[in-house]
Structure formats: C-alpha cells, structure tokens
Chain A
Amino acid sequence: MTATTTEADPARAFPGYLEFLAEADEHGAVEVAVGLLESGVPAERVLLDLVAPAQAEVGERWARDEWSVAQEHAATHISERVVAAVAAYADPRPTRGRIVVACMDGEWHALPARLVAEVLRLRGWQVTFLGASVPAAHLVSYLHRYDAHAVALACALPMRLPHAHRMIEACRRSDVPVVVGGRGFGDDGRWARVLGVAWAPDAPTAADLLADERALRAMPPARLDHLADDEYASLTKRRGELIDSALADLRERVPGVRDYTPAQLDSTVSDLGYIVDFLAAALYVDDETLFGEFVEWLVAILVSRRVPASAVGLTLDHYGQRLRDFPRAGRFLDRARALVSGLSDAPRR
C-alpha cells in the first residue's frame, strides 16, 4: 500500500499491481497506475503494458482454476476502474471523428474493447464505448443517430462469429465501415478475412487502420460460398435436440453424471451447447482449426476441474453419429476426436 511501486516501468510495477487485483483493492491498483503516469509513463503504455497483460494473467488464472469466476469478475472490475482513472488522468482533447466501440451481443469480456477505446481516445478520436454485450438493434439505432467514422467491434469467442457477421453487415448497411478485433477472429485474423472485414491484432494497429479510410472501405468480399451446403443452418436448428441426446448419452455411459447436482447439470448442458455452437461457427467460416482449438481448450479447462478428457471424446462421438449426413461437420468432429485421443493418451503432469 505504500509508495514502493513508483518506478517508472510498467513491467516492474506488474507484480505489485497483480497483487492488488488479487485482493480486489481498487485504490491500490489505481495508485500504481497513476503513480506510473505521474512519473512520466505515457498513458498508452500504462494501458497496454500494465493493464492488458495483467488482465490476460487474470484470464489464465481462471482457466487454471486457481481463481474462481467471482475473483475473475472482481479483478476485471478493478481493471475497469484503473482504465477509467488512466483515461481521466490523460483527458485527451478529441480532434478527429467519432469511433463507436462495442462488444458483440452476448460478449461480456469488455475490457479488451475498452482498452482499444481508450487508446483511440488518446490518439485524438472522439470515442463512444457502448460497453459489453451490445444488442445489434441498439448499435444500429446508435449509428443512425450519431455520425460515426467507423465502428470497432470486439469478439472474444469464435463461437459468436455468425452473430458477429450479422452485426458487421448491419453496420455496413448503415454505410459505416467496420474494423474488428479480439481472439474470436483467430490469432491471425483469418476468420475476419473469411467474413471480408478489416481486422486489427491490437489497439495501435486498429488506430492506424482507422486513420486510413480507403483501406477500411476497400475490403474484399466475404468468402462464404460453402454455406450453400446448409450444414450451418441445419445444425443450429438441431441444437436443442443434439444437446438433449448428448446428455442422455452421457447419463447412460458415465455413471457419475446421474448424481450431478442441478448446478453441475447446468454447466454440463452449457458445455454440450458450446460444443455445438463452436462446431456451427467452424462450419460458418469453414475452418476445422476453429473447432479443434476450441476442443483443446475445453479439454484443458475440464481437466483442470477434474473432468476427464474422455468425456469430451464421448460427446464428440455421439455428435458424429447424430450428424452422419453432415459431411463437413463429420470431418471436423473426426479431426477433433483424434486431437482428444492424443490429449488423453498424453502422460499426466
């Protein structure tokens, strides 16, 4: 709590800052950030070299089951307050047009988008941050109401790509160019390319891209011809039925499932749903790696929570049998199945 963290280097301040996040100590965390600013570290560096990596660490700790969801939420809230404090300290004067920054509907990881918003603000844009989980209707009515140079949309989960695409189209119908970011578009932005939308890997790149209006408007069209096979649409229609039968299948084959508490059952149902949703998103952009990466991640999360990888394998098998007349989905499921077998054969730590 004392002023030991005034060295003007975000990297050195990092461990102390993380401590404050862990304790949900808003004032301590804000003091570290403001201390850096006062000793001359530019606001953009505080945001990108202190707040952003700390938040990434928060996510990691949740994934490793070291932190509960509640701790993660509390830490994220503190990060938000720090961002607000940094923004208030820098208080840049807007000299350029308006940029609307929003998270996809259903997307609650608002902090990365918030950081982008603040970096843009520091670079002179007049930024409106609409926050987490912005319904498409809200965004569109906002765009009709206020003239915007561009919209920056964040999507952290590839599962929401089909939805993201509809939102991008809605913005374009209002004649507003869109730039997207976030892990949801792939670590190299490859799914943004499939959807025919400009993508930025980080806040500075997004700022550069937004400054170049011609580049924003000159995007190649979406490559979605594969949707003609209707697998995506049919899969989303059968979502409920698939989850139902997968749950029945688990009950039959994994004895422990029958004794699940209602809360365990809820989270099993939502995991089964995620598998369908990620498969649907993979079909949407026609990329098996989307589904493969998700399955690897899911197995890691479940294993850290003492659920065996083989349970995921069972469900993949089950979906594979159910989706016999879906050649693309079948191929994706087979590859993912092979990945899971590889993971469960690997020796335990």
Chain B
Amino acid sequence: MTSADVRGADPGDGRVSTPGTGRARPWPDAAPALPPLAPDRGLPTPDWSEVVEHFREGLIVCDADGVVRHLSPVAERLVPEVVAGEVLAAAGVPALLATDPGEFTHHGRRLRLRQVPLSAARRCWYVEDVTESVSRADALLAERARSAFLAVVGEKLGNPLHPDRAAAAVVRLAVPTVADVAVLVLAPRSGRARWWRAVRADDEAPALDSGMLAAAALPSAIEEGLGGTEPHALDWVVEQAVEAGWLPGVDAAGATARVVPLPGRETPAGVLLVARRDGRWYDEADLDLVRAFAARAGAALTTAVLYRDQAEVADTLQASLLPVEPAAAAGVQWGTAYRPAQAGLRIGGDFYGSHRLVDGGSVFFLGDVSGKGVEAAVFTGQLRQCLHALHRVESQPGRLLKLLNDALLETTQAHGQGRFATMVLGVVRPHRDGSLTLTMAGGGHLPPLVLRASSEVEVVPLSGMLIGVVPDPRIGEVTVHLAPGETCLLYSDGVTEARGGLRGDEQFGAERLLHAVTGCHRMPAPALAERIEQVTCDWLGHGDHDDIAVLALRATGPGRPGRHLHAVHGPTGADRPRETTP
C-alpha cells in the first residue's frame, strides 16, 4: 500500500463519511436570523479610504451615469480593466454589467461579485477573490467522491469471487470514475495473458469484453507494468495501446493513458491500463486514486485465485466423499435423497450405495457414522472403500457386516479415532416374476420400512449392535420379500430426529414418518425418497439439522426393460479459451 492509498482509504471507523450524511453540518438550517443592519453611526470620523483599503472585498462605486467614482486598491488589482473616472461599461468586463452577477472567472481567478444600490442612484460593486476557498471546497468534494468510490470498490470486490468475475468487476468499476476505457491484463500463465476491458457507453453500464493474448504480443508498457514498475514514458502508453487496437473510439492525439500494476502475492497479479478520451491529464490526485483502486483490485484478484485453487482441491476431495448413486440393477428401481447438515460443504456422515454381484444381485447399504462434517465424511469414505473391497470376498450380509466391523475396528484403533457407524447392509436378488428378495443385516441402525401393495406399511424387525466398537458384535438378520410394485425404505436418523414443529424442538419421529409414507405405495422409488426429504425439511423449517439420507428399493416387476434416461447434465469444464485481441 502506498501512502496515497492510506490517505484515500476509509479508516473503517466511520470517520470518513460519504457526502450527505452530515453529522456536523457547517450551516445549520435553522440558524437564528440576525437583526437588520443599523446605519453606521461611526463616531470618530474615519478616514474611509484607509479603512476600505484593507477590506478583503474590493469596491467599485459608480455614480448615476455609470462613471466609476471610486476604486479600492483590491478592486484595482482584481479587475485592472476598470479605471476611475471612466464609464464602467468601458472596462469590457461582462460580469460587471450583468444584473445578477454572482461568480465569474477573470484572469484565472474565481471572483464573487455583488452589487448594492447606494443613495442618489449610485451603485457599489463588491468584488471578492474566492479562488482558494472554491478550490478547497472542490478538493474536499473530490476527496469525498474518491473515498465514496473506493468504499464502493471495496464493497464490490470484497467477496471472494470467482477470478473471472473479479476481473470483470475490476474493469466495470474503473469506468467511468477513473477511465473511459479500462483494460485489465492478468499476469500471463504458460505464455498467454487473459484480458478484460470496459468501455464507457453513453448510458450507465459500460460495455464489457474479454479475451486472451499471447504474452509475446503484449505492448512493452504492459510488460513493464507486469514487471512491477509504472511506465514513465507516458505519451508512449497511449500510442502503444491505440496501435494495438486496445482503445476503441480513442484518438491517440487527444487521449491520455496510464498503466498501473495490480499488487499480487509476490509479482503483480496483472496490470490496469486506464485511458481518457478527452485528454484530461491524470494528475497526482487521480493517480493516487488509480493506485488505491489497483491495490484493492489486486487484493481481490489474488484472493479469488487463492479461493479457486483451494476450492478445486476441496471439490476433488468432496467428490470422492459424496455418496455414489446405486448401480442400475435388473428388477430394482433405486431412489435416493441426500442432504448434508452443512449445506455449504455438501458432504456429511451419512452414506449409501450399492455394488453389483456377479450372480445378478446387488449389495446395498445405508448408514450413518458418528460425528458430522468433514471428519465424518472422511470416515464414510474409508468405510465405503472397505465395503467395496470386502463384498468381493463375502456376499452374505451378516458375515460381510462382521468383516466390515473387524476392518473398521482395526483402522479406528490404529488411528485412535473412536469412530463408529450404524448401518443396514443387504443383498437384493431379483426373481423371474419381478419380485425381489432382500436379505438384510442390521448394525444398530433404524429399522427399514416396507410399503406393501396393500398400502400397508411394515416396520422390518431388524436389530444389531454398532459397527466398529466391539469385536464380534451381535448382528441381526432378516429376509424380506417384495412383490412387484412394493418398496423397501432405508433412512438415517436425520429424518426421524429432525427437530422442528411449533417451537422447533420437537422430533419428527417414527410416527410422522409412517404417516408421511402411508398411501405412497404406488410412488416410484425416486419420488418416494424425495418426498421423505421434503417432509423432513418442511418439518425442520429453516432450522439446523443432522445429515439426512434415504435409500429406497422398489421391485419394478416384469414389465419392459428400463430405458436409460439421462439426467440433467452437471457442470462441465470451462469453455475452451479463444485467442483474441482486444
């Protein structure tokens, strides 16, 4: 940060206020009216000319014919054209002849004029030099505008944005306050430099475009800026930029431009080229503002890039920890719902999935590990990987769950984590008539529900102990037969223990779940899973919740083979960058 930056900056304690909020108004609206002036009774007859000489205002007194009768030295200095003894009009100063003179500029000074009628049709002009106070007020207003501008910039660039959008925001914000055309060139990566440009349009919103350029094609002034120095050969900057076609609608002859580096972590994050069409020079105050702006822009871009890099890592890791949708299996329609406790994280301690077996059946599971958030998600990852490997050697649910228990016990003891899981693990096998046989093993998890074709809802009696706590746990086993159109439903305690209702502290409970699925026996499995997610979230209102997971299996019956339908495409990679010139 430069000293100018500090000067322009909002100290953050609210002392630099935007104009108009006026806490200490210099001119109170309701100032008491002063009594009218009484005639000067000046007792010791003063030597008027001597007194008048020291007035800050100059005096010009004319007689009824408009001939100048008196001219004070101050007036003589400010309006030398006026000569005593001659007609005022002869001076050729239009402001002196106007009926309502006010302020005017004369010989480079700002003069304030007022006219007062005297006795005998004489008139007096008071001339005051207000150059300094006006420029002080202008400077104050400009300073206020600058801090207001920087405050807006700080606010708009303050969020960790996507790098591209941060770059677009930088050029958009630069126009029109600091430039008619602003071009941002990012530091080149592998020989290419990306750029963004905003051009002042007639209405409010500037026109934006962007592209990519070979680093070798960058004008030398830009290269210099990327090296961290502000180029000093200023007329060159405009010429180079106009020649390179960077400044549409700008004529090299009348325009001014500057190049300012945007501070990055070590080397500049990029450079900002600002240009004005009308030839208004960038003075020191303007440059201070551009630099302060560049400092904020540089910080925003650096943050955005940092965020992107870390988010990329996080996304990759998250993706590996997200539940994988069950693999398509003959005769089974799967339905799933998943809503982690921390919405921004999108992963949690609930998990589900399936693996196909060589004999045409599938292993399926749904469970919940102790804890929440990233650590719980990592543990679900370990658990799913264990299962992935173990189902190849053992496909009998009870024995598979015991194997899993031993494997987890070993891992948790080795890491001293003390984590455990509850889960239902089953094997589903289809029959020729479209029915399904489900053999399920229970590891301390909530009992599955079965929606019968008769609209009855059964609670499957499945008990068992937690997985990953003791060696050789007691594991319950049960076999369920699903006729075509019947559904088995697995869910995590995030559903039944959702707290909501009237005061937000009542558990959703098994009764409400039973009620919610009653009458849903004809629903497709995905619709059923979504319905459970919906009623649970409705119950929660906007309150906090635990991870929620639902897995439904429906016997599709012997009907037509399932047509594979594509879901909506997910986000794909970024568009292929194009090589363009601004």
Chain A residues engaging chain B, CB cutoff 8 angstroms: 24, 26-27, 30, 68-71, 73-74, 76-78, 81, 84-85, 87-88, 98, 105-106, 108, 114, 117-118, 126-129, 132-133, 135-138, 140-141, 143-148, 163, 173-176, 214, 217-218, 240, 243-244, 247, 262-263, 266, 269-270, 273
Contact = CB atoms under 8 A, between A and B. Distances in A.
Given A138-B343, A141-B344, A106 B159 contact: no
For chain A, what secondary structure do more than half of its interface residues adopt (helix, strand, loop), or is it mixed? helix
Interface string B522-554: 111011101100100110011000000000000
Interface stretch (B271-279, B357-365, B497-505): B497-505
Contact of A84 (B311, B520, B566): B566
A74 B566 contact: no
A106 B524 contact: no
Given A144-B311, A173-B159, A77 B165 contact: no
A175 B171 CA distance: 13
Contacts of B559: 27
A24 B557 CA distance: 14
Interface in B148-170: 156, 159-162, 164-166, 168-169
B515 interface: yes
A240 to B, nearest CB: 5
B524 A117 contact: no
Contacts of B307: 144
B292 to A, nearest CB: 20
A103 to B, nearest CB: 12
Interface string B489-509: 000000000000111100000
B205 A218 contact: yes
A152 to B, nearest CB: 14
Nearest to A108: B534
B344 A137 contact: yes
Interface stretch (B9-17, B128-136, B411-419, B568-576): B568-576
B565 interface: yes
Contacts of A73: 520, 523, 527-528, 530-531
Task: List 10 tightest A-B contacts by C-beta distance, closest first.
Answer: A135-B343, A77-B527, A137-B344, A88-B566, A70-B520, A147-B164, A137-B343, A74-B523, A138-B343, A147-B162
Contacts of A269: 501-502
Contacts of B527: 73-74, 76-77
B565 A88 contact: yes
A83 to B, nearest CB: 8
Nearest to A75: B527
B512 interface: yes
A174 B155 CA distance: 10
A146 B571 contact: yes
A243 B502 contact: yes
A249 to B, nearest CB: 14
A147 B165 contact: yes
B524 A84 contact: no
B346 interface: yes
A24 B563 CA distance: 15
A70 B346 contact: no
A87 B560 contact: no
Contacts of A81: 565
Contacts of A273: 502
A165 to B, nearest CB: 14
Contacts of A163: 542
B300 to A, nearest CB: 10
B519 interface: yes
B511 interface: yes
B204 interface: yes
Contact of B542 (A106, A127, A132, A141): A106
A68 B519 contact: yes
B571 A217 contact: no
Contacts of A247: 502
B120 interface: no
A69 to B, nearest CB: 8
B162 A143 contact: yes
Nearest to B156: A175
A225 B396 CA distance: 66
Contacts of A74: 522-524, 527
Given A84-B567, A106-B542, A141-B344, 11 more contacts: A88-B566, A106-B541, A128-B570, A132-B534, A138-B344, A141-B311, A145-B162, A174-B161, A174-B162, A175-B156, A214-B205
B472 interface: no
B243 interface: no
A218 B204 contact: yes
Contact of A106 (B165, B512, B537): B537
A138 to B, nearest CB: 5
Given A70-B520, A262-B511, A144 B501 contact: no
B394 interface: no
A203 to B, nearest CB: 15
B568 A129 contact: yes
Nearest to A101: B568
Nearest to A143: B162
Contacts of A106: 537-538, 541-542
A84 B563 CA distance: 12
Nearest to B534: A108
B524 A263 contact: no
A175 B511 CA distance: 46
Contacts of A127: 568
Contacts of A126: 572, 575
Contact of A133 (B501, B531, B537, B575): B537
B315 interface: yes
Contacts of B504: 240
